[in-house]
């Protein structure tokens, strides 16, 4: 028989933390469920309501587990925020297969091209401070980039309309270490443009690499130092860094690639990311990526007008409206305007999804290259978050 003190201690019929091995965490200010070691049936019997309330944490954990299977990834971590606060973090699978280490929300992954919108914030901050002009030629801030047949501006770099090429075969997972940003640009900077800037769209990590040099010139700081002081620090991104192969990084996952025979994974080959700091060289946790999104929405990184400019689609010279803005991909549906970016790295796949009008952000990080399905999984997590009790209503136009 259960005493009155025990039954009074039960908080509700809501389930506790979900996910295998307690991997999923629910924000305590949103749900605080405790079973006090009692069998589930007895706990339900002690509740005043006849049926338990749905457990959002269990739904999130199920989506993440399914996403890991679809991606073919050993491990996957995730974080979800709604109404401007993180409400759930969780993980599924392994951060390190050989040592049987589970993935957790604290696992640090290569975030690949999600580095681009983070680096773009630095450019927009400096533009806001009038330390640079978005429509100025690149050479004004990075003279190592030679003049081309047509002017190339910072705005062209940010919107992938510069005509600067992307990777050639063998360059994606280069092993060479570059000590300076100028040295890292030697591989592409003398190549001809693919088209006149502003007339077409062609995705280019190398274009973003130039922005790291622009930040250094305009700020008088190293790119790494500027990001720490002005972006990662103010956003509370304590586990976000440029990846240096030789550094010891607590909780860094092992990276993997899929086997050709689809019978599992291999260890990923060595890749030095110094060739692409701003375009794809950062590492972070899933919660840090969500903190970045929330800091954007809260105005902690820039003024609202600057933030709106970042999410305004670029218009090509012929009037075609791109779905890419200044560091973000934009899409609209009945829920509102979605802001997102994906990433693919040697041994990693990522996705960051935002719905600013609802204070919503979702991040997924996987430790396998070419993991499938992360954008769909992020949308499922977003829909589950929007269906939660007390989630914000859509903003009135």
Ordered by start, the domain boundaries in the chain are 4-53, 59-386
- First-to-final CA distance of the chain: 56
pLDDT in tens, 22-37: 344 444 333 333 333 3
Write down how long the chain is.
397
For the cut 50, the answer to whether the pLDDT of residue 12 exceeds it is no
Rounded to whole angstroms, the Cα distance separating 366 from 96 reads 12
Q: What is the pTM of this model?
A: 0.86
Q: Is the pLDDT of residue 38 over 80?
A: no
At 106, list the tokens.
Answer: 């604290």
**Range with lowest mean pLDDT among 1-15, 121-135, 205-219, 224-238:** 1-15
Helix (H) or strand (E) run with residue 101 in it:
strand 101-102
Residue 199: both structure tokens together: 């007339």
Q: What are the tokens at 21?
A: 């091995």
**Residues 92, 41: Cα–Cα separation, whole Å:** 27
Residue 272 to residues 118, 218, 367: CA-CA distances in angstroms? 20, 26, 16
Q: Which two tokens stand for residue 385?
A: 């978050």
Alpha-carbon torsion, ordered 82, 88, 93, 99, to 10 deg: 120
- pLDDT > 70: what percent of the chain? 85
Structure confidence by residue, pLDDT tens digits, 182-221:
999 999 999 999 999 999 999 999 999 999 999 999 999 9
Q: What is the average pLDDT across 68-97? A: 98
* Distance between CA atoms of residues 198 and 142, nearest Å: 20
CA pair distance 273, 249, nearest whole angstrom? 15
- Helix then strand count (H, E) for the chain reads 12, 13
Q: Residues 115, 274: contact at Cβ < 8 Å?
A: no
202 in Cβ contact with 166 (< 8 Å)? yes
Q: Is the pLDDT higher at 371 or at 263?
A: 371
Q: Are 185 and 157 in contact (CB under 8 A)?
A: no
CATH of 59-386, one of 3.20.20.80, 2.40.128.30, 3.40.50.2300, 3.40.710.10: 3.40.710.10
Strand partners, 227: none
Give the closest residue to 251 by CA, choosing from 91, 108, 51, 137: 108
């Amino acid at each position: 028989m259960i005493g009155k003190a025990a039954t009074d201690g039960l908080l509700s019929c809501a389930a506790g933390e979900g996910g295998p091995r307690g991997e999923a965490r629910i924000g305590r200010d949103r749900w605080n469920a405790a079973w006090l070691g009692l069998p589930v049936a007895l706990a339900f019997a002690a509740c005043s309501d006849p049926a338990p309330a749905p457990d959002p944490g269990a739904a999130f954990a199920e989506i993440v587990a399914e996403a890991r299977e679809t991606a073919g990834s050993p491990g996957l971590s995730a974080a979800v925020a709604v109404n401007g606060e993180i409400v759930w973090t969780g993980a599924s699978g392994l951060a390190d297969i050989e040592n049987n280490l589970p993935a957790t929300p604290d696992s640090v992954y290569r975030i690949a091209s999600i580095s681009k919108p983070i680096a773009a914030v630095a450019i927009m901050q400096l533009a806001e401070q009038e330390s640079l002009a978005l429509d100025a030629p690149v050479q004004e801030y990075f003279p190592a980039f030679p003049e081309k047949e047509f002017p190339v501006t910072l705005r062209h770099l940010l919107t992938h309309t510069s005509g600067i090429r992307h990777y050639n075969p063998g360059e994606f997972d280069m092993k060479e270490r570059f000590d300076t940003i100028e040295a890292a640009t030697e591989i592409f900077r003398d190549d001809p443009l693919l088209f006149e800037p502003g007339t077409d769209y062609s995705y280019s990590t190398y274009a973003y690499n130039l922005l790291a040099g622009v930040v250094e010139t305009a700020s008088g700081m190293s790119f790494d130092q500027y990001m720490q002081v002005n972006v990662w620090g103010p956003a509370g991104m304590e586990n976000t860094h440029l990846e240096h192969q030789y550094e010891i990084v607590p909780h860094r996952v092992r990276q993997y690639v899929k086997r050709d025979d689809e019978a599992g994974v291999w260890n990923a080959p060595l890749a030095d990311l110094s060739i692409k700091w701003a375009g794809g060289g950062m590492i972070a946790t899933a919660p840090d990526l969500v903190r970045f999104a929330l800091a954007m929405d809260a105005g902690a990184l820039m003024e609202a007008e600057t933030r709106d400019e970042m999410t305004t689609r670029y218009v090509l010279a012929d009037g075609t409206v791109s779905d890419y803005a200044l560091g973000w991909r934009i899409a609209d549906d009945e829920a509102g305007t979605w802001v997102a970016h994906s990433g693919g790295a040697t041994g990693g796949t990522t996705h960051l999804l935002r719905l600013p009008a609802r204070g919503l952000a979702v991040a997924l990080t996987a430790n396998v290259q070419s993991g499938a399905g992360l954008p769909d999984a992020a949308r499922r997590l977003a829909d589950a978050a929007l269906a939660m009790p007390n989630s914000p209503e859509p903003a009135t136009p």
